Each structure stands twice: as structure tokens, then as C-alpha cells.
Amino acid sequence: MNIPAHVPAHLVYEFNHNTDEGLLTDPQRRFKELSDKFPEGLFYSPCMGGFWVTTNYQNYTTIANNPEHYSSREVNIPSTGGMFRLIPINIDPPDHAKYRQVLAKQFSPPRMRKMEDDIRVLANQLIDNIADKGSCNFVDDFAEQLPVIVFMKMMGLPLDRLDEFRGWAMVALTETDPSVRMPVLMNIIGFMTESLQARKNDPQDDLLTDIINAEIDGRPITMEEAQAYCLLLFLAGLDTVVNATSFGIRHLAQDKALQQKMREQPDIAPAFVEESLRRYSFVNIGRIVSKDHELNGQLLKTDDMILVPQIPANLDENAFEDALDFKLDRKGKNRHVAFNTGPHNCLGAHLARVELALTYQEWCKRIPEFSEDTTTPPVLAAGPVMGMRNLQLTW
């Protein structure tokens, strides 16, 4: 192993977030083990060219709120060499704000609230398809349908290609073999480029039209910039809420009392959303160190990569008392970092909260007491965005 001279031997530990067996069985428990093993809040993995990993809340928030030391120009580990840019994720302040503003209006809270009725109708249509069956694969039959359909309608993407696009997103976010992942990323960019060109000639009431007609600093957006926006939206819109919904429903399936409380008191849904996001977060994002400096006494060197996983931050006992417990009345519940924090906090957070709350309300209202089918355990995926590939429920 080639360990840099500034890395202490006691902080070296082989870890690959794309393939780690612990993440493929119980990601929360695995990261808790790593937090206990490295109470300093940081360790160094020699895998994939070498990178630091944070293991507590303090280091996560320090990094997220200090873009001058921790740049987002590279968020992938291993690095893609800047081949596939994501706007505005890969842009640091001060330029970040003007790129983010292009999407801010489309994802504002008032606009998301106007979508509530349509999302509730869609949720019930999906439940209609499975309510009488007595069982389902929740990921296939619901979680991969509702948020993806909502997003595709917002973007103006053809719904008859839903399964194909979802497959592309899964490969792009979880595949570790570059020979498999890169062609899929090219497929996504190719399709988005064709769609953007079509909107340039024939504008529609959708996000694709808004993006291709946007201006940055008073100049028209370039096609490369538009592609970078669309790649981010495609990957985020087709995967993240799917995972959040699945983890939340699984918790309800394992807690019958809380499940019943959701039926009797649907107004607890927003509190359940926040605690579920904290308890079962799933994103592992990277940063690159932009200048030599110390983090809690440990020297970090320019161009060091650092993985900033959400789970150990959200399960840190110093930030959340009894962190492994599930508490709807948790104090400071909105301090969690499931939507990140700092300048790169998630633009889609308002939409995600609406989708999640309505899902939990309508599912519990329509489906009788449900359980996880323990004879078919979930298959988990690791990587930058972790999630479930199946969740068998019975009722």
C-alpha cells in the first residue's frame, strides 16, 4: 500500500464504499462500527487511490460549510477526472449561487405545495394496483414509480421509458466497473442533449425548456452547462427519493405501533419523514482538499480526496442523543444532514418532503397492517447513493 507521509499509521484502514460487505447488509450498523473504531472522526483508506473518510457530525458539517478548503469540483471517489460535470454540485462559491438560482424557482416550497394534490392522486393510483394482492415488492411497485413519475413529468421526459431510465440511473450511481458505467452515462447525456435541442426548437412547460433557455450572468447557457444540469437532475430525480421511501416504509413494517399511529394521526407524517431521513440516510459524497490545512489536528494536503458520508454524521451521539433510537419528538430534528447542509444543501428537499409525507400517509391509510417478508430479505446496493433493490411486504 502506498500511504502518504502525512497519514498516521493508526488512521489507515482499508475501506471501499462501493463494495464493502457491511454496507451491503446493514449500512447504518457498518458506519456505526467505523465511528466507534475511529472516534477522532476521521480515517484514511488506501483503496481507489487513497481517500479520507469522516465518521462524525462535526467533521461533516465543517467540510460542508467550508468550500474554500473542501472543493466540490470533484465529488466522485475514484475520480472521474472531471469527465461528467454536475451543475450546480461541481461548482464552488461564489459562482455556485448564480448557477443554483437557475433551478431555485422550479423547486421552491410554494411550487412544491401546488403539486400535493397531484402527488396524492398518483400515490392512490399506484396503491389501487396492489391493495388487493396482499403482498408486493414495494421498491418495484411503488417506490420506483411515484417519485420517478413526478420527476419525469417535471422534466418533460417520456413516461413510457420509465423502466429504461431508472435502469440507467441505477447503473450510473452504483456500478463500480468503469467499462459498464461510462457507456450508460454517455447514453444519459446523449438522450438529454437530443431533448434539449428539441426544446430549443419547440419550447414546452417543463424543466428541460427552462434549462436550455436559462441565462448565466446575462449570457445564454451553453449546451455543455445544460447537459451538466440535466445529468444531475436525472440521477438525483430517479434515485434518491426511491431509497428514502423504501427505508421509511421498511421501518414502519417493523414497528406496528408506529404504523397504526400513522393511520390514526396522519399529521405525524412530517415528523416521521425527518426522523426517517436522519436514521436511514444513504448518501456518500466526496470533496477534494483545495489547500493544506488541519482538520481537528490532522494535516490534510492539497488534492487529498475525502469521503463525507451522511450516516455517521446522523448517528453521532454527540449530535443526536440516543441516535439509534427512532424518536418523532426528537429535539433539533432538522439538524440532520440527509439533505446535506451549507451552500450545497439539496435543491429538491422540498419536493422530497412532500412526496415522502404523502406516501406514508396514503400507504398506511389504504394498506392494512403490513410486515416485511423475512423469507425474502432486501438486496442492498452500496456506492455514492445506497439503497434497496427490493423490499417484499405482506398484509
Q: pLDDT tens track of the chain, all 395 residues?
A: 789 999 999 999 999 999 999 999 999 999 999 999 999 999 999 999 999 999 999 999 999 999 999 999 999 898 777 667 899 999 999 999 999 999 988 899 898 989 999 999 999 999 999 999 999 999 999 999 999 999 999 999 999 998 899 889 888 877 767 788 889 999 999 999 999 999 999 999 999 999 999 999 999 999 999 999 999 998 888 788 999 999 999 999 999 999 999 999 999 999 999 999 999 999 999 999 999 999 999 999 999 999 999 999 999 999 999 999 999 999 877 799 999 999 999 999 999 999 999 999 999 999 999 999 999 999 999 989 999 999 999 99
Cell of 263: 393511520
Asked whether 107 and 241 are in contact (CB, 8 A), the reply is no
The answer to the question of residue 2 being in a domain is no
Does residue 344 belong to any structural domain of this protein?
yes
3-state secondary structure of 242: helix
Is 1 within the bounds of a domain?
no
**268, three cell numbers:** 405525524
Structural domain contains residue 4:
no
Residues 382 and 23: beta-carbon distance below 8 Å = yes
Q: Is residue 183 part of a domain?
A: yes
Report the predicted TM-score, pTM, of the whole model to 2 decimal places: 0.94
Q: How far apart are CA 286 and CA 231, in angstroms?
A: 17
Per DSSP, helices labelled H in the chain are 27-37, 57-64, 95-104, 109-113, 116-128, 138, 146-155, 162-174, 178-201, 207-212, 223-237, 240-254, 256-264, 269-279, 310-314, 349-366
385 contacts 132 by C-beta, under 8 angstroms: no
Q: Domain tally for the chain?
A: 1
User: Is 393 within 8 Å of 138 (Cβ atoms)?
Assistant: yes
Dihedral angle computed from the Cα positions of residues 228, 387, 20 and 255, in that order, rounded to the nearest 10 degrees:
150
> Is residue 40 within 8 Å of 11, Cβ to Cβ?
yes
Domain span at residue 385 reads: 9-394
As given in the structure block, the three cell numbers for residue 102 are 437557475
The whole-chain average pLDDT of the chain stands at 94
Quick one: which of 123, 35, 182 has its CA closest to 131? Answer: 123
Residue 3 lies in a domain: no
CA-to-CA distance for 11 and 306, rounded, in angstroms? 14
Among the listed residues 183, 199, 192, 202, the one whose alpha carbon sits nearest the alpha carbon of residue 229: 192
CATH number where 201 lies? 1.10.630.10
